[in-house]
């Protein structure tokens, strides 16, 4: 029987103080996990096939596009054909526990693969070797097919109830994440409302009492007060009643709204209402 050396922690006391120290211990070695080794080997093979597919399709499609554009642009665009279905395959793997979410990246990946195969086939036809175009297109199909088999093998089988439970958990987590930006927006909106209210209610500067109007106050009687008013409402009421002189508007505002209203604040509302 094969053995291996491992370390176990045992108590050791020196001068009345005990510590756990590691000591080497011979233990039976577990049997070799051939299933894991085979899966690792298959994954390496799939990675090599995928790399070869990307190189081949990029060279083929790049040569096709190079007939119309410069070489860097042609080969830069050519690699997109394979990266598209590879990315979709990766997203499909991430959504492996939710068939509904995995359906879209699966369809998009198959569509991107077909487009890449058609481009490789077109290059073979234009080059005069349609057989090479067909075989080259099959390289990408084999690479995606192999990775699909490997990923499906590593996906644990789940019954319908377990899948529904997982989807419910993911939905709850998604709702919690979605509430974070919503709460931030609400806080920003409330802060803006409070700042606006504070700006409207706060005085700006001392009033200037000079230059009182020489017009007869009786010519334009003041409108009656209609309950509590803000400075802004009082200014609007005075203007709607025909009072245009800033001093008279200020006097009316101090009478019906705020006895300490500032001239600059009232003048600002007059300009906004004009």
Q: Is the dihedral of CA 140, 145, 146, 151 positive or negative?
A: positive
C-alpha count within 13 angstroms, C-beta hemisphere, residue 21? 8
Q: How far apart are the first and last CA of the chain?
A: 99
pLDDT of residue 160: 83
Helix, strand, or coil (residue 79): helix
| Residue whose tokens read 């642009």 | 73
pLDDT of residue 162: 86
Residue 18 contacts residue 2 (beta carbons within 8 Å): no
E-assigned strands of 88-234?
none
Task: Show the tokens assigned to 133.
Answer: 């175009």
One digit per residue, the tens of pLDDT, for the chain of length 274 reads 677 788 888 888 898 889 999 888 887 877 888 888 999 999 999 999 999 999 999 999 999 999 889 999 999 999 999 999 999 999 999 988 888 888 999 999 999 999 999 999 999 988 888 888 899 999 999 999 999 999 888 888 888 888 888 888 888 888 888 888 888 888 888 878 877 777 776 555 444 444 444 445 444 555 555 556 788 888 888 887 778 788 888 888 888 878 788 888 888 888 887 7
Helix, strand, or coil (residue 18): strand
Task: Quickly list H helices, the chain.
Answer: 34-65, 71-94, 99-127, 130-154, 160-201, 231-240, 246-256, 263-273
Residue 119 contacts residue 36 (beta carbons within 8 Å): no
188's CB contacts (< 8 A; 6+ apart) are none
């Amino acid at each position: 029987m094969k053995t291996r050396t491992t370390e176990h922690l045992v108590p050791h006391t020196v001068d009345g103080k005990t510590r756990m120290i590691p000591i080497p211990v011979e233990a039976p070695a577990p049997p070799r996990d051939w299933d894991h080794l085979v899966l690792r080997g298959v994954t390496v093979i799939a990675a090599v096939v995928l790399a070869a597919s990307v190189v081949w399709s990029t060279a083929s499609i790049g040569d096709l596009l190079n007939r119309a554009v410069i070489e860097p642009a042609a080969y830069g665009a050519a690699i997109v054909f394979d990266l598209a279905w590879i990315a979709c395959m990766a997203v499909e793997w991430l959504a492996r526990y939710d068939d509904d979410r995995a359906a879209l990246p699966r369809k998009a990946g198959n569509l991107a693969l077909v487009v890449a195969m058609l481009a490789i086939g077109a290059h073979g036809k234009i080059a005069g070797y349609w057989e090479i175009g067909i075989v080259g297109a099959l390289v990408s199909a084999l690479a995606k097919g192999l990775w699909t088999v490997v990923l499906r093998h590593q996906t644990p089988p789940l019954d319908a109830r377990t899948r529904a439970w997982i989807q419910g958990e993911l939905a709850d987590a998604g709702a919690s994440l979605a509430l974070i930006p919503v709460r931030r927006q609400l806080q920003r909106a409330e802060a803006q409302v409070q700042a606006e209210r504070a700006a409207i209610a706060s005085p700006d500067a001392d009033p200037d009492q000079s230059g009182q109007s020489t017009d007869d106050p009786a010519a334009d009687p003041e409108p009656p007060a209609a309950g509590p008013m803000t400075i802004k409402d009082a200014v609007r009421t005075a203007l709607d009643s025909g009072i245009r002189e800033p001093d008279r508007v200020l006097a009316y505002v101090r009478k019906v709204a705020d006895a300490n209203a500032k001239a600059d604040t009232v003048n600002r509302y007059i300009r906004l209402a004009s």
